[in-house]
Structure 1
Amino acid sequence: MNLLTQLELKMHFTESENILAQYILEHGEEVVKMSIHTFAKKTYSSPATIVRLAKKCGLSGFNDLKITLAKELSLHTSKEIDPNFPFDKDDDFNTIINNLTLLHKETIDDSAALLDQKTLNQCVKLLDKADSIDLYGLGNSLLVAQSFAHNMMRIGKQVNFRTMAGEQGFLARVSNPKHVAIIISYSGETDEIIRIAKTLKKQKTKIIAITSLGDNQLSHYSDLILHISSKEKIFNKMAPFSSLLSIQYICTMLYACFFSLNYNEHKAFKLHYDYEEDLRHPFYSPINEK
């Protein structure tokens, strides 16, 4: 898990460390230029507390924290549009439209750069060999999962996903080595998702994780990892504009590459399904293609 995400989640921090974490999130660019003593004075803390916070984040000390922070801030500020708040309260509709359009383009470019083709190829081969593909995720991730499952179903590939509370845990328990699991989690740290991942490992099910960059818990249980564009904060944001689009992009690439493995067969199945089962238009409508 990257440093900024750890600071935002405040996992296992003391009250004093929470104050330090919040200060870094709000004044990161200033902190990078501070000495440990200046930072301690600004936050009414001590150098020892600052070092403890750094070590809880997997870093050796304050200098290591500053180096890591500077790198992550450069990623977050290298683009023109803030993915967390892409427009301000005084912006007109035209500015909002332009900013979100640019954010979408930046997110797609970032997602494409993160997509490792060797890993994608391995994922597609796993999906092709699987008797069943099982999708796991919470909240907004399920919206993308549902679309992916729908597309796969229309080319004849069985995909399971559950939306009711607790059902994903049961789905994991009845999994087996002939299944492949796709787990979608931006943070990779959600308790329910980690429990599901642990269960799947016990069932010897291969796991494909769609998650953010960094050393999160989910990545430790996964066989293959596809990375989401990770410039968005967990809580402090307007909406998951960037992360949801990045997840959708990855799932689209998975579907498209899977389709290409048996292109003619999948095309024939898809067109036959649409002609026979898609009831959006009356049979005798002049716009029906049949």
Structure 2
Amino acid sequence: MEGWLIYRKSDAERNKHYITFYEETCQKYGITITLKYYENFSYGTGSESSSLTYEGEALSKPDFIVMRADEPTFSEHLELMGYRVFNNARVSAIANDKFKTLQLAAKLNIPIPVTRLARKENAVTEAKDLGYPLVIKPRDGHGGQDVLWVDDEEKLKEILQDYDHKTFLLQQPVSDLGRDLRVYIIGGKPVAAMLRCQDNDFRSNYCLGGSAQKYELTERELGMIKKITSVLDIDYAGIDFMFENGEAILNEMEDVVGARMLYHLTDIDVVDLYIQHIIKKL
């Protein structure tokens, strides 16, 4: 069995050890997996057929693709050409867009923070209606990047001068700041949950210096997760919750989810579990 592991070049450089986990795990199961860079692909479509080349050359079709580049359009193109992509394009499109994730949650009656989708042209008006303080965040951000606290209109105008996002989210803060929950999903089922805490920042991301510990999910939290996995065919993703007065509410999803804290703090080998899932699906 052969597979591709697709990364952006910059992300691959930061995730060398994680890529090695994939290579060694696949080798253990008799699978050859080859790292491919997203930037080296060229793809398009015509009236009769779709095309795909890598570094200008046609490629033999692999048995599967592990997509670690958040490019849902590319995933959809691959699927239209008959490739099996993990995660699929629909999961990628929703999980890489914070607003689409919140829209889905609202449809499923899952609690979420009060949120407005805004542009620079209407952000001040939307913020006045929402009320201060608030949080501004990009639709497609990861790792807490460009997630900023806004105390007042003056601060918002200052941020907007250099905020390089066409559309973004304005969100009412939750009551329990600096604390959130990351749930790892494989094959539609939770395999691990980690409570992340940060004393010096309202963002609790582990990569920003927060602490983390294993967490036992409540029946209520499991119920919210089941609602999501019943409508999304998740191969491997993260579902993140914040806390409002001690109760979990949905924050976002991560398609290209990181697992650094799992390997640092637990004995859970999430890559091994993921490859086992892929083998079963094929």
Higher relative contact order (CA 8 A, sep 6+): 1
Q: Same fold (TM over 0.5)?
A: no
Normalising by the residue count of structure 1, what TM-score does the alignment of the two structures yield? 0.29
State the structure with more CA Rg. Answer: 1
Normalising by the residue count of structure 2, what TM-score does the alignment of the two structures yield? 0.29
Task: Please state which structure has a larger fraction of its residues in strand.
Answer: 2
Task: Please state which structure has a larger fraction of its residues in helix.
Answer: 1
